[in-house]
Chain A
Amino acid sequence: MIKRKFAFEGISNSFYAFSIVVWIGVSVPCCVSAQTDSVKKANELKEVSIRAIKLGKRQLSASPLQILSGKDLERINSLSVADAIRFFSGVQLKDYGGIGGLKTINVRSMGTNHTAVFYDGVQLGNAQNGQVDLGKFSLDNIDEIELYNGQKSTIFQSARGFASGSSLYLNAKQPLFENGQTDHFKAAFKTGSFALINPALLWQKKISNSVSASINTEYKKSDGRYKFRYTDGVYDTTLVRRNADIETMRVEAGLQGKLADSSVWTAKAYFYKDNQGLPGAIVNNKYDFTQRLWNRNFFIQSTYKKEVGRYNLMASAKYASDYTRFLDPDFVTDEGLLDNRFKQQELYLSMTNRYHINSFWDVVLSGDYQRNTLDANLYRFPYPTRNTFLTALATQFHWKKLDIQANLLSTYVNDQVRQYYAAGNKNELTPTIMVSWQPFDLKEFRLRSFYKNIFRMPTFNDLYYTAIGSTFLKPEYTKQYDFGLTYIKAFKDKLLRQVSLQTDVYYNKVKDKIIAAPGANLFRWSMQNIGLVEIKGLDLNVQTAWGITEDLELNTGLTYTYQQALNVTSVKLNYRNQIPYIPVNSGSFILGADWKNYAMNYSYIYTGQRFNQSANNVYNYVPAWYTHDIAFHYNYSIHKANIRLSAEVNNLLNQYYDVIANFPMPGRSYRFTLAYTY
């Protein structure tokens, strides 16, 4: 009873804060003064041309930012978002292999649950396990992928934007109509290894001068069969991956418009459905599997943004419904085969207010409300509901040479269950401060630094999964300290046209890491807050652009990551051992070339030796892997239409490797694309 009363007070407190945000949002627009364009321009982190150099977001961002967009993204060998983010520094992709294998991102060794993924500005949630499978997001309609360590370098964002250790933004292609154009149409067909069939259609329509619509659909099917090889130097066996088939369907429709006061709005509906086999770990005497998984994801979201004037407003709303079914024919109960069904629902409302106090000082107040529910046909399942209130107060000082952003985020989480125990309430206050500084007159050289204290909530699975979850869990906290520099230099009439470099050193600490720990027996694992991890790292990114001849352009991208991620939980167990699956050294190299109608790309990815369990011993050693990919593209234009032909070879040298122990990755594979656009 006491607990319940407490919960109610918590809700009402947060509700007060939340309603203040809403109230400001509604009332302030009445007293907006004339717009100050200069402020607006300084705030926009769009490409600003300074002399011959283009200082971009990469250089100006106070938090480390990596981008893959447009042409670069089109040129590299990628089917899904997961393939593309491998080229970022400080990132480990957890990849279970094949087209259907789970692919999640671990940024700077903090763990997959510390990266928020935003799709067209709104976060993709998964309250059940906190993971977003990036292999499920096709690159077909993605125009830009941005990865921010810490958070996006702007204070004008939803409270959610402040609420994660790092943030990945996936931005869909926006319709752009040049003079006289009213339609764009794109049809693409991909095929290749693993019996891949992957057609996609995109249609963009200009409805009026201020409103446009787009619809995009994609189908993908693959048998997922590929050869893999295991050897210990004595045995040497090559097998075919089985039960890795996948069939997916995605439909997206969007509307976007501009109002008379230059504010913009969007509305989007998304539907995704798949049906896949779940290939398990390849262990002795077990090479085939029967488990299957079905997913159905649906969401609608709408955003509104007004950036002119002294007072700015951003609002968004989302409703999402996810369904998962897991069937295990190897697990026969007295009621038949194990057949679990999970239903999640999410409601999300967000409002952000910005006020330009003067030419160099802005303040922001953001409030988000989120409601998540999970239903499952599990015995003794508690049926949890989570209400989350986020309130962020942020401020920014920006001068020509100095940009300071600071925010304080209040998180209030209330869990309720229909039966058994609820985790109760959690109230957290976490700060972030970020600085970008140009120390000399030289605009090309900037220093940046940030400190961020944030946490991730235990997921529904951590807390409530029958016979595993533990309602005693605290949040998992991270502290990040980052210091870096950016430098860019352009050369006129030289072969080397531009060099740009970004590098950061960082120290992260993960406290109360949520780990599955043994219970009374192997059937009774429990989740506990026992991990403490210290991470020291270095990220390096170098991009160059070369003009070899008038027609031949070369672009290179090099990344290097050094990470020492040590388990310092207990002196008794694996003390100061590198945590599992984090290589000390990793990196990538991309070489892109454009010549007339032709383009090619070569890419190389290196992941150094790792350990697959906590103890750094010979039995847990995982060798380094490195793959070479190559792609050729040909563009042919007739009138306004364009035909693009692509051929890709992935893992050119056919190296066999595992990212996750016993989940083999494909060897050499091929992909061909035919795309038609007008």
Chain B
Amino acid sequence: MKKQITYRLSLAVLVSVSLFSCRKDPQPAPEQTEVVPPAAGPAKGFYLVNEGNMNMNKASLDYMDLTTGLYRRNIYDAANPGIVKGLGDVGNDIGVYGSKLYVVVNVSNKVEVMDVKTGKRIKQIDILNCRYITFHKGKAYVSAYLGSVGDPNAPQGIVAQIDTTSLTEVRRVEVGRQPEELAVVGEKLYVANSGGYSPKNYERTVAVVDLNTFQVIKKIDVGINLHRLKADKYGDLYVTSRGDYYDVPSKLFVIDTKTEKVKKTFDIGVSNLTIDDDYAYYYSSEYSYLTGMNSISYGIINVKDEVLTDKKFITDGTDKEILVPYGIAVNPYTKDVYVTDAKDYVSPGTLYMFNPAGTKKYQVTTGDIPAHFAFVY
């Protein structure tokens, strides 16, 4: 009797165990595709890096093949299945230089270097808390919030110089606290410092680095909590200040690199911008303490004359559909405008394409927080 019960019980346990013991075999996250109308011109395509929400390890890479109109979502995992935990956490910037593709992955503390044709990893360069990347004469320059961690007396951030052939760090320079975007004009590197870790005492300068000596030769006083920094073809820099989110509003400054002084201020809270030829395409997204809501607007600045135009790059009302504009790019040949929507930051985003008349031609689903573009020619 006792035996029988034990037998029955163990059978019951076994059955319940086997019923529940069905985990699918793990597989690399798949690539998905969509087809959209192709675009003619020298630009063969572009890469789009999706940041992914922090701690979710969901940075991902999409590729738009403009010649065929094939949009490939999440190409990194299929191209690099052996990399532990994939592209990583919070993809913060992207760049193409020569035959290589560079993705800056912030929380993963690395710059991922890939073959621009295949997306296969060539090398990983470790840089703590890295943010943005730019290139000049065979070198990549990467800004990083801190030079080291754990040292209470070392709040300064750095720019690292990386040789694009050997893919190793050559040297680094302290530029200010929590540097963000950077650009090269002539033989000088300009870096926007934010000081974002110390809201009581934000930074307010653009650091000027002489690329021959790799020393900071000047700090240009601009405004608090700087973020974006883009160069136009007239030797001017367009720099955004995020303000303090309380009393000081965000603004856009124009710096003349010849005098290294602010020559113009736009009272627009620009969140992001891209400069193509004579125009800067921007969007602004400002939080109001009075309503607890964001107000979003889009616009174009003429960088030749440094004036705000009344032109719009979205004219068909699609701007009402965009919850949170997060990335912007312009095809330099077709003048098509690409805008991404990050939505609630924890859902797949959307990439919209607008023709030069401002009409939406198509939209595709991206990874989470689609943000940074790099064209391939």
Contact = CB atoms under 8 A, between A and B. Distances in A.
Interface of A: 230-235, 237, 280-286, 290, 329-338, 379-380, 421, 466-467, 470-472, 495, 515, 517-526, 528, 546, 548-549, 552, 554, 573-574, 589, 591, 602, 604, 606, 612-615, 617-619, 623-626, 628, 661-662
Given A332-B154, A524-B245, A283 B55 contact: yes
B170 interface: no
A525 B53 CA distance: 12
Contacts of B196: 523
A618 B29 contact: yes
A542 to B, nearest CB: 12
6 contacts: A284-B105, A286-B108, A333-B198, A546-B5, A574-B347, A602-B13
B140 to A, nearest CB: 18
A374 to B, nearest CB: 19
B211 to A, nearest CB: 27
Contacts of B367: 619
Contacts of B289: 421
Q: Which DSSP category, helix, strand, loop or mixed, fits chain B's interface?
A: loop
A219 B1 CA distance: 47
A285 B200 contact: no
B109 interface: yes
Interface string B82-104: 11111111000000000000000
Contact of A286 (B25, B89, B287): B89
A290 B287 contact: no
Interface in B12-31: 13, 16-17, 20-30
B138 interface: no
A281 B89 contact: yes
B321 to A, nearest CB: 8
Contacts of B53: 613
Contact of B199 (A379, A517, A546, A589): A379
Nearest to A338: B197
B5 A284 contact: no
Contacts of B342: 518
Given A234-B28, A333-B197, A548-B5, A614 B83 contact: no
B161 to A, nearest CB: 21
A232 B86 CA distance: 9
B120 interface: no
A284 B368 contact: no
Contacts of A421: 289
Contacts of B154: 332
A234 B81 contact: yes
Contacts of A282: 57, 85
Contact of B346 (A528, A613, A617): A613
A573 B347 contact: yes
Given A233-B28, A290-B149, A628-B17, A284 B89 contact: yes
A619 B74 CA distance: 9
Contacts of A471: 292
B27 A470 contact: no
B48 interface: no
Contact of A284 (B23, B24, B85, B287): B85
Contacts of B25: 233
B150 interface: yes
Interface in B326-377: 342-348, 367-368
Contact of A613 (B198, B294, B368): B368
Say which size band chain B's interface belongs to.
35 or more
A186 B16 CA distance: 38
Q: Which DSSP category, helix, strand, loop or mixed, fits chain A's interface?
A: loop
A380 B246 contact: yes
Listed residue (B84, B107, B108, B291) with the most chain A CB atoms within 10 angstroms of its CB: B84
Contacts of A624: 20, 22-23
Nearest to B148: A332
A284 B152 contact: no
A336 B155 CA distance: 7
B87 A284 contact: yes
B11 to A, nearest CB: 13
B21 A626 contact: yes
Contacts of A552: 2
A235 B292 contact: no
Given A285-B108, A332-B154, A526-B292, 18 more contacts: A232-B29, A233-B27, A235-B84, A284-B89, A285-B88, A332-B150, A380-B199, A471-B292, A472-B292, A518-B342, A520-B287, A524-B245, A525-B345, A554-B9, A613-B53, A615-B348, A619-B29, A662-B57
A330 B149 contact: yes
B110 interface: yes
Given A232-B26, A333-B155, A662-B57, A520 B294 contact: yes
Nearest to A334: B198
Interface string B164-202: 000000000000010000000000000000011111110
Contact of B197 (A331, A520, A522, A618): A331
Contacts of A336: 152-153
Contacts of B5: 495, 546, 548
Interface in B235-282: 242, 245-246, 250, 269, 271
A520 B285 contact: yes
Contacts of A625: 23
A230 B83 CA distance: 11
Contact of B55 (A280, A338, A466): A280
A524 B294 CA distance: 11
A593 B107 CA distance: 49
Contacts of B20: 604, 606, 624, 626
B319 interface: no
B113 to A, nearest CB: 14
B305 interface: no
A588 to B, nearest CB: 11
A589 B16 contact: yes
A379 B200 contact: yes
Given A284-B108, A548-B5, A612-B56, A528 B292 contact: yes
B58 interface: yes
A518 B89 contact: no
A421 B291 CA distance: 12
B199 A573 contact: no
B303 interface: no
Contacts of A379: 199-200
B279 to A, nearest CB: 23
Nearest to B24: A623
Contacts of B57: 281-284, 661-662
Contacts of A591: 9, 13
B64 interface: no
Contacts of B110: 284-285
Contacts of A281: 55-57, 89
B126 interface: yes
B55 A662 contact: yes
A230 to B, nearest CB: 6
A523 to B, nearest CB: 7
A283 B348 contact: no
A219 to B, nearest CB: 29
B324 interface: yes
Given A281-B89, A602-B13, A662 B56 contact: yes
